[in-house]
Amino acid sequence: MKPRLVPYLFIGPALLLLVTFGVLPIAVALIVSFTDMNLAGLGDWSRIQFIGTDNYTKLFADRAFWGALSNTGLFAAIGVPSVVIASLLIAIGLNRSQGRFFRALRSFYFVPAITAIVAISLVWGYLFNAQFGLFNYLLSLVHLPPVAWLSDPLIVKFSVVWVAVWRGLGLNVIIFLAALQGVPKEYLEAAAIDGASEWRRIVSIEIPLLRFAIFFVTITTVIAWLQFFDEPFVLTKGGPLGASTSISLFLYQKGFSASQFGYASAGSVVLFVIIAAITLFQLRLRRADADY
């Protein structure tokens, strides 16, 4: 085999999987978005009609779509900085402690990331229960009124974000911990000899050297929150009155519950464009920062 073909042999399987499960579904969704495909059309393709941009016109006039989009923006605005900052602070704290207890904590923080969402929803559902839940019981101990955690249209937004933030910490903590392990100890020792305090070493040495890790965690977290689905689906089904419906849950309801595949595909294309635009913007910022 010619040496110049060896790299293609290694990247070939990964590229094939990427095209099959990444690029091809997007292309199919784009084509379906210009049709009236539904459950009947799925069984008999002769019933599928090309309708141009009607799905997009209907989508942009749908108040439920804009409501789900605004909910997703709110979820991301609260969730992304919460996850990134909390993960970074926890990783810095764990990195400074080498005892058995803190090594065990590293595994503890990763547990939510590998726990089934169904089990999480059961536990948090009981915690949020308005009559018998732990949170309202704790509020009653300090003579505060009970809170409708999952039935109030405003509070439910923060409740689902709370669960998602808790669930999203583990993997990011591991990433930050790995990055912290790569910070040259010579830098920290030199700063300590010069009299730099612990706080100064964190702010002036460790965090600047974690810029790529922070960028990676931020961009993956933003993408994850724009596709926010699990927590509102299992805890509230998007209720009450669509108050916790994210854009991904909205598309799921239209596509799989209402069998409006063409309409849901139009929404998925719009969501893809939004995610791609935000990701490219972040990459552009990163490139400007690297040039600097």
Q: What is the pLDDT of residues 240-251, one digit of tens each?
A: 888 999 999 999
Closest CA to 267 of 249, 280, 281, 279: 249
Taking alpha carbons only, the member of 266, 242, 270 closest to residue 255 is 266
- For residue 99, count CB atoms less than 10 angstroms from its CB and return exposed for 0-12, middle for 13-18, buried for 19 or more: exposed
| Residue 45 pLDDT exceeds 70 | yes
Q: What is d(CA 207, CA 92) in angstroms, rounded to the nearest whole number?
A: 9
Confidence of residue 264 (pLDDT cuts 50, 70, 90): very high
Most confident option among 80-84, 181-185, 257-261, 286-290: 80-84
Domain of residue 86, CATH code: 1.10.3720.10
Whether 10 maps to a domain, the answer reads no
- Please report whether residue 174 resides in a domain: yes
Q: Is residue 252 part of a domain?
A: yes
pLDDT at 226: 92
Query: Residue 47 carries which DSSP code?
Result: G
pTM of the model: 0.86
> Which whole number is the average pLDDT over 99-107?
73
6-10, 24-28, 96-100, 176-180: the lowest-pLDDT one = 96-100
Residue 186 within a domain? yes
Domain count, the chain: 1
Check residue 258 and report its DSSP letter: S
* Mean pLDDT taken over the chain: 88
For the chain, the first-to-last Cα distance in angstroms comes to 43
CA separation for the pair 91, 58 (Å, rounded)? 46
pLDDT at 68: 94
Say if 223 falls within a structural domain.
yes
| DSSP structure class, residue 244 | T
Q: Taking residues 205-209, what's their average pLDDT?
A: 90
Burial letters for 139-157: b for 16+ Cβ neighbours within 10 Å, e otherwise?
eeeeeeeebebbeeeeebb
Whether residue 110 has pLDDT greater than 90: no
In 202-291, alpha helices (H): 207-209, 211-226, 230-235, 247-252, 261-291
Contact between 238 and 245 under an 8 Å Cβ cutoff? The reply is yes
Evaluate whether residue 203 is within a structural domain: yes
The answer as to whether 179 is a domain residue is yes
In-domain check, residue 212 = yes
Encode pLDDT of 225-238 as tens digits: 999 998 899 888 88
* Residue 138 lies in domain: 61-287
**Which pLDDT does position 287 carry in this prediction?**
65
Residue 252's pLDDT is 93
